[in-house]
Chain A
Amino acid sequence: MKRKQLKFVAGSVVIILTLAYLAYSGFKEGNAYYQTVSELYASKDQAYTRRLKVAGDVVPGSIQREGKSINFLISQQDEKTKKVETLPVKYVGNDAPPDTFVDRAQAVVEGQLGSDGVFVANKMQAKCASKYEKESAAGVRKSD
């Protein structure tokens, strides 16, 4: 290989390695395990150390504001055991909860499980799944 091409290859390798390192460190900083409520309970002790994203439906009437934080319950029915598992959540994020965060909304909370069994979330997403589920029986389904 000619010297010039070698230079180009060397430059590319340096760039790619740098980016790979950055990608790895960025990944370490922001990664989270995506689990359902029952998966969270099933993972036992690991649940307390990992950063988690948990999905579940907001239990109607459970949303309570307490100062700057919001307490609520999310629940989900396990597909296999058919058991409904519930997780208490304390949302302490800086951003306001999304508009779609209402009773029965499908919420995804991100944070860590405290030793008291309350999930402390600093990020939250929500979508109104339930709103259209009833109507889907009537053949009407919202898609966007």
Chain B
Amino acid sequence: MEPHVVIAAVSILTAGLTIGIGVIGPSLGEARAAASALEAIARQPDEANTITRTLFVSLAMIESTAIYCFVVSMILIFANPFWNAVLPKAGG
């Protein structure tokens, strides 16, 4: 196989694996956080403002792991750094 075909295939496969596996953890974590926050609000409705603010901030913190995976997979697909090493060889 040509080197750029190998790189393209590996990049696409890895991008899919990255987002697929990387999203499992954060989604479970976000579900847990949201469930606990709902429970807390149900128990103490007066504290709903504080709980909601903390929930949003912690959701963003948890979510950032998934966002890193997304950024990595986007870089692999749209801005793959290994193309530069291969393309001149393949082109000429």
A binds B: no
